[in-house]
Every structure is written in structure tokens, then in C-alpha cells.
Amino acid sequence: MPLLPDPVRPEVRQVTRRAAEAIATHLDACEAAQDVTPQAAAALKASGYAALTVPEEFGGLGATLPEFALTQEHLGRAGASLALVFAMNGHVLGSAFGARSWPEPLLARLGQGAARGELLNAVASERNLGSPSRGGLPETTLTPQGDGYRLDGRKTWSTGARALDTALVTAALEGGVVRVRVNMHAPGVKIETTWGGSLALRGSGSQDLVFSGVAVSVQDLAPPTPPSPVSPAWFWTALSGTYLGVGTAALADLRRYAVTRVPTALGRPIATLPRVREAAGRIHAELWAARALLAHATQAFHADPTDAALPLLAGAKAVCAQAAVNATDQAARAVGGAALSPDQPFERLLRDARAALTHPPTEPEAYERLGGLLMDAAEEGVYSVP
């Protein structure tokens, strides 16, 4: 199956290929540095992918949710660490413009920045708070100061920190929670290296961000808004596509290795061995099934962007994550001891796939959502899901 089939439009296909080339070129250097190098950051921005999910009226490509799933799989195959930088940028912009609940001038600034190649991420996690998906009041604060605000606090797991031009920071303000747009080059913004030695996604540079008396204007404040289904929809799709790409890479690398590896004792490629062929078949089938569910779920949400399609997207995230884990595990088993060598990509793929399980929704939550949809439908006399 082509990695960028229809319904991906030619202009989307073009920037996706440029982004994948940038990732493939700089991935090894970023993995070694355990950070996004300046050269990698420049190449990612030059690809034009930053504006993928920005509407055309704001200078972007207006990618749909189904397109985003396909393009992120393509980038995930090139390298999960840097693909995740784009995933975060893409889902934040996709959900912001999908909900249209923020002030129009703020949306315009975000879209215009992305059209210039600038990268952003929403930073919300904190050491004491944990995952923002669980709720709670952040320790990062926004305090009125003059005709604007003062931002103080620390954020963890800030994917692509050194490549970012803008951070959308979640902060407490007068007992509520808001988001504020922060220029990453503003006085008082500091990146603290905390990502060294990470098991997975070493090149993502998910460092801590420290804000000390950062001046923020009123125009950059996104006030509290009602929860919107577009936010989890874009986030879960970003994760699903990216990690599905890790599984796709594992299958491609297994085939490459198997058809060229000829042990002297065997006298022929290990691709001829039944256990290797079985592993490839299992991986291929699982990836196809995961991709089909993701395509169905994103198309369902695109047709009806309401809470009704969210359980399908949650289920797709769980299935894609497990498919990536299974693909990398089975590929490594089929390759044998050579899979542990840094000379081969399998050990990195194996590590990166495990990270898929840590992102929300967790597997139990995802399947509870999907099962709840089925149970509720059954109570109403309906025995199928959308």
C-alpha cells in the first residue's frame, strides 16, 4: 500500500515528502545529540509542513484529519523523534482552527507564523501535575502586570523545545486555567536540558521549559473555552499516525534485512525461512488492520466532528500503538541478535514504539470508550457502531 495514497492532495504530498526527507537526513544526528539540532530545526521549518493543518485562508494547506493521519504515518516511518515534533505542531493548529473558540487575531498570528515555517507546541505537563488530561490546576501562573501579564513556572516534556518559535503555555489565572502564546525567544524563557538518557524518542528534545517573569500581552491570551471534541480528535490522530509509521518502518527494515542477510550456514537469504515469513505476514496484517481502523475513524469524525466519533478515534489510537509495539517486537525477534546492534534500526524502533503506550488515552480508557459506545447502542436496540 502506498504510504501517501488518495485522498492526499498533491500539495500536501509535496510538503510531506520534503518533511520526511528532512527527518531522514537529520535523525541520526538528533538521536546522538539527544536533542533537536539547529540544523534539523532549520530543515524541518524549511519543509513547509508546519502549515499543513492551517486553513488556506490563513496561508496554510488546510489538511483534513484523514490526510493528517496519512502524512504523519509517512513521517513516523522516517523517524518518530522528529515526526513527533511535527505531530504536536499539527494537532495544536488543527484543533485550534477546528474549534475556532480562540480570538480571531490570536488564530491569525498562529497561522501566519506557521505559514512562515515557524514551529509551535502546546506545553501543559508539569512534574507535580502530571498529564494535563487528568485535570488539576497548574503551578505555572499568569499574573496581571501593567497592561499585560507576567508568566512564571516550569513545564516538562516539551517536545522539540529547541526547535520551537512559539509555545502555547497552560497557566493558572485567577483560579482558572488559560493558555497563552509565548515567544520562545522572549526574555525570561529558558530551556533546561532534562531529556538526556531517555529510553525512547531521544532525538525529540523533550526538554523542560522554565518561565521567569516573561511579559505576555493581552492579545496573546486564549481565555477558557468549553471542551471541544476537535482537540482529542487531532491529538489522537497525530499519535496514531506517527506510531503506525514506526511499525511500517519495522516491516520495511525487516524485509530489507531479510532479503540481504545470507548466513553461510544457510546459504540463502533468511527471507526464505518460514518463521521470518510468518513474522512479516503477521506484522503486515496488523498494520493493515490498524491503518483501516484509523482511516475509518478519521473519516467518521471528518464527516461528523462531534463527540460521537471520539470513541472510534480512541480505539484507533490504542490499536495503532499496539500494532507498532507488536511490529517492532516481532521484527526484532525475526532478525535475532543483530536487532540489538546500533548498526541496525531495530533497537531504536523497538524503543520508540513503547512510547506510544504512554500517551493518552491509555489502552484501558480507549477500549472503555469504544466499548461504552457499543453498550449504549445495544441498549437502544442498535448493534453496530458508526
Lowest mean pLDDT among 5-14, 248-257, 376-385: 376-385
* pLDDT, position 6: 59
What does each C-alpha distance from 268 to 97, 154, 291 come to in angstroms? 55, 56, 33
Q: How far apart are CA 59 and CA 350, in angstroms?
A: 38
Which residues lie below 8 Å from residue 356, measured CB to CB, with a gap of 6+?
239, 243, 246, 320, 321, 324, 325
Average pLDDT for 49-71: 97
| Contact indicator for 383, 377 with CB cutoff of 8 Å | yes
The predicted structure's pLDDT at residue 133: 59
Q: Is the pLDDT at 380 greater than 70, yes or no?
A: no
Per the model's pLDDT, the better-predicted residue between 338 and 196 turns out to be 338
Burial class of residue 119 (count of CB atoms within 10 Å of its CB; 0-12, 13-18, 19+) = buried
Nearest to 180 by CA among 160, 208, 207, 153: 153
| C-alpha R_g of the chain | 21
Percent of the chain as helix, strand, coil, to the nearest 5: 60, 15, 25
pLDDT tens column, 143-190: 999 999 999 999 999 999 999 999 999 999 998 999 999 999 999 999
Closest C-alpha to 188, from 213, 163, 166: 213
236 with 365, same domain: the answer is: yes
Task: Please choose, from the candidates 35, 90, 24, the residue with its C-alpha nearest in 3D space to the C-alpha of residue 241.
Answer: 90
**Any idea what the CATH number is for the domain that residue 162 is in?**
2.40.110.10
Question: Which has more pLDDT, 381 or 36?
Answer: 36
Please indicate, yes or no, whether residues 279 and 319 belong to a single structural domain of this protein. yes
Q: Rounded CA gap, 54 and 331, in Å?
A: 37
pLDDT of residue 1 exceeding 60, the answer is no
Say yes or no: 134 and 183 in one domain.
yes
Q: What is the pLDDT of residues 208-244, one digit of tens each?
A: 999 999 999 999 999 888 899 999 999 999 999 999 9
Q: How far apart are CA 82 and CA 123, in angstroms?
A: 17
The chain-wide mean pLDDT, for the chain, equals: 94
184 and 144 in a single domain? The answer is yes
| Domain endpoint, select from 119, 150, 174 | 119
Q: How far is CA 177 from the centre of its chain?
A: 24
3 is a domain residue: no
Would the pLDDT of 3 be above 70?
no
Whether residue 112 contacts residue 41, with contact meaning beta carbons closer than 8 Å, is answered with: no
Domain assignment of residue 2, yes or no: no
Task: Residue 14: give the domain boundaries.
Answer: 10-119
**Domain CATH for 325:** 1.20.140.10
d(CA 123, CA 171): 10
Burial of 98 (0-12, 13-18, 19+ CB in 10 A): buried
Cross-strand pairs, 121: 167
Q: Which of 77, 99, 119 is the last residue of a domain?
A: 119
Do 374 and 299 fall within a single domain?
A: yes
pLDDT at 184 (0 to 100): 98
Same domain assignment for residues 135 and 247: no
Domain match, 111 and 133 both: no
Which residue's C-alpha cell is 518561565?
211
Of 113, 119, 110, which Cα lies nearest the Cα of 83?
119
**Contact between residue 60 and residue 67 where contact means Cβ atoms under 8 Å apart:** no
Same structural domain, 283 and 364: yes
Residue 133 CA: distances (Å) to CA of 93, 138, 227? 18, 12, 12
More confident residue, 129 or 342: 342
Query: pLDDT digit string (tens) for 132-142?
Result: 656 679 999 99
Task: Write down the pLDDT at residue 152.
Answer: 98
Count how many domains the chain has: 3
Q: Both 365 and 278 in a single domain?
A: yes
**pLDDT at residue 186, as a whole number:** 98
| Residues 238 and 173 reside in one and the same domain | no
Question: 3-class SS at 307?
Answer: helix
In this structure, are 108 and 177 located in the same domain? no
Report the DSSP beta bridge partners of residue 189: 211
